[in-house]
Structure 1
């Protein structure tokens, strides 16, 4: 008979506490912990399975694939936005300002997680927080007098812009490289051949002007003005 070390007694399976039952929400919660502590690249089925003391195959009963998992992560990250609804941060004021504030909050979530932004470009999110955000956008467009059809089509454009910007600029690991690229581009614009590229030469300072916040605010205004203008014309089905 083998001896048992009293300082480190072995335990039979019957003596071990039962593991919590696997659930979809439990898997998402574990993924969020890994995301915040280790980054999205470490949010894999295998890593989550290890954290939950189970096998990767058992997770697929609750999560379709990695894309589905990332979509659920995005939805969880949008929780504060959906909770704020059509009045983020308790804002009052014009509907346009409240809508731009909501879209900016969405952009900031994606800026913090550019890999999730890339997923949002190729996958249609449909979680409850995402749907609540879309509903808040539609409510603000209705408040602004945008007809239903224009609002229904316009919401896609309004969400596409901050998503694309987050993909382009959101990765902090690329910040120094992008700064170098911008400086190089600015130098090329200053020295550009005016005979060959007359409009770039004329508008060079304006092309390179404006910080990110100013351009983003202007872009949202352009999109909203376009939606309002398009609403006055018949929309073919």
Structure 2
């Protein structure tokens, strides 16, 4: 079996328990996927590619080079997804300047209010993965793309059975989105190359845990191969379509 990114963090004891408990079975993906792009905006990458130790001085949430790697790989994924006409849904997070909608975020980070309000570069989606006119954008204030947004309603209306999740950060908003998608009974693919995190161990172990219980963690190449097996996405009959 090919080595996985999390292997070096899993002890012999934990590996034995994992294998004995039955977790890690491939869940499989459906035939009507949508792509969820989680928080690929400049607050999480910085405005230019720099090592994270430099980037966080100005951009406290930056994932540095790992974040930009996720952006570039997601751009490849979106090209493949658009060739199949898949729904593509983005999340963004913008807050009021007075912090009244920040909730508990302020309690856990003394820099919580930096560059988070609308109108600044920090809340713009990276141009390499910029939404196209037909794509959907959702504003969220909490980790999951599902919490406090109409995402479930949108996916149900589109008759989506699978979500392909990309974005930042793996151990935070990506994981929260994945567990909620699982809870709503969607099949979930996490595209490993298209995710990133500030902390190497958090990234690796979170991928391990999601792959064990909530999702299939797959590579960009595997995702492209999967997309090659499905039909072009068509809107359900109940959705009004423009006619010429």
Q: Same fold (TM over 0.5)?
A: no
Which bracket does the TM-score occupy, shorter chain normalised?
under 0.3
Larger RCO (CA under 8 A, 6+ residues apart): 2
Structure 1 or 2: more helix by fraction? 1
In our comparison, the structure showing a higher alpha carbon Rg is 1
- TM-score, scaled relative to structure 1: 0.25
Structure 1 or 2: more strand by fraction? 2
